[in-house]
Amino acid sequence: MTEISVVIPVLNEEENIPELYSELRDVLEKLNKPYEIIFIDDGSTDNSFKILKEIHEKDNKVKVIKFRRNFGQTPAISAGFDHATGSIIITMDSDLQNDPKDIPKLLEKINEGYDVVSGWRANRKDPFLTKKIPSKISNWLTRRLTGVDIHDFGCTLKAYRGEILKDVKLYGEMHRFIPAIVSWKGFKVSEIPVEHHSRKFGKTKYGTWRIMKGFLDLLVVTFWQKYSTRPIHLFGGLGLLLSFSGFLIGLYLSIIKFFYHQGISNRPLLLLGILIIILGVQFIIFGLLADIMVRVYYQEERQYNIEGILG
């Protein structure tokens, strides 16, 4: 029985793959536990798949999943989870910035009784303005909105107990929020400092737009955690608040018309009151529709398409 599965998304990392595989194999062999390495080729346009195929032919502990095109890191990690057989699943990047030597520390921590152990790049080797500052802001905001107190949600190097991932459905950029998602389900989450290296070869796949997409996904995750079972509580609450505000405006205008005999037909406040009431009713309708739609949420299809699997 496989004890450890290592899931690694790959996109145009032909220069990094051989060194990563060599270091990773050395670390895993020393653990003396059954393991597998799952590379997911996320539509690479260089020689990444060719190199992965050669590694697989030499080592039957290596699986390779090839996507038909580039679907993104989250679908790649999701595919790795779907095909992993280990009781402990470890995710890491393929760019050599994560250090395989940290894997034993992750396993040691998870054996203390935790369900997820997240890596914390305490001494991150990335540009200050373009990477570190946006990351600090993103992590602070994520802690505030999710209530999960870890420092580095964006670090791919994490360890999970396999059984907790069975009901986790990923899309968008949500792989970074898995600790928050499983924490809300009652599982124990911890973190440890890990090494982080400067990129040796290739170019980063992370841009400013990806940060924006991650922020939008954070809003979705937060909404889902608080209102996934009853979205009417959010939309209906906003609708009632708006409708009540519109009612107060209407009441005020009625008083000044009937008791003080002032004209109200030319007042912008009248149009504002009507608009707010209409918006309130619409929000209530949105809440009812969302409540119905949430019942079929878990019927969504997978977010990736596999061309072939080696191993």
Which pLDDT tens digit goes with each residue over 152-165? 888 999 999 999 98
Please provide residue 204's backbone torsions phi and psi, each rounded to the nearest 5 degrees. Answer: -65, 145
Alpha carbon distance 300, 287 (integer Å)? 20
Alpha carbon distance 38, 52 (integer Å)? 10
Q: Are 92 and 5 in contact (CB under 8 A)?
A: no
| Residues of the chain scoring pLDDT < 70 | 128-130, 172, 202, 205-211, 214, 224, 228-229, 294-305
pTM for this entry: 0.75
Indicate the CATH number for domain 4-228.
Answer: 3.90.550.10
Element (H, E) at 242: helix 232-258
Dihedral sign computed on CA atoms, order 64, 65, 70, 74: negative
Query: 4-10 and 35-41 as β-strands: parallel, antiparallel, unpaired?
Result: parallel
Residue 185 in 3-state DSSP? coil
Q: Nearest to residue 106, comparing CAs of 4, 1, 2?
A: 4
Instruction: Output 43-50 pairs: Cβ under 8 A, ≥24 positions apart.
Output: 43/11, 43/67, 43/68, 43/69, 43/70, 43/71, 44/10, 44/11, 44/12, 44/13, 44/14, 45/12, 46/12, 46/14, 47/14, 48/10, 48/11, 48/12, 48/13, 48/14, 48/17
Tell me, what's the pLDDT at 228?
67
Tell me, what's the pLDDT at 298?
47
Dihedral sign computed on CA atoms, order 145, 151, 154, 155: negative
Q: Are 116 and 182 in contact (CB under 8 A)?
A: yes
8 has which bridge partners? 39
Query: 158-161 and 116-120 as β-strands: parallel, antiparallel, unpaired?
Result: antiparallel
Block residue for tokens 């369900």: 115
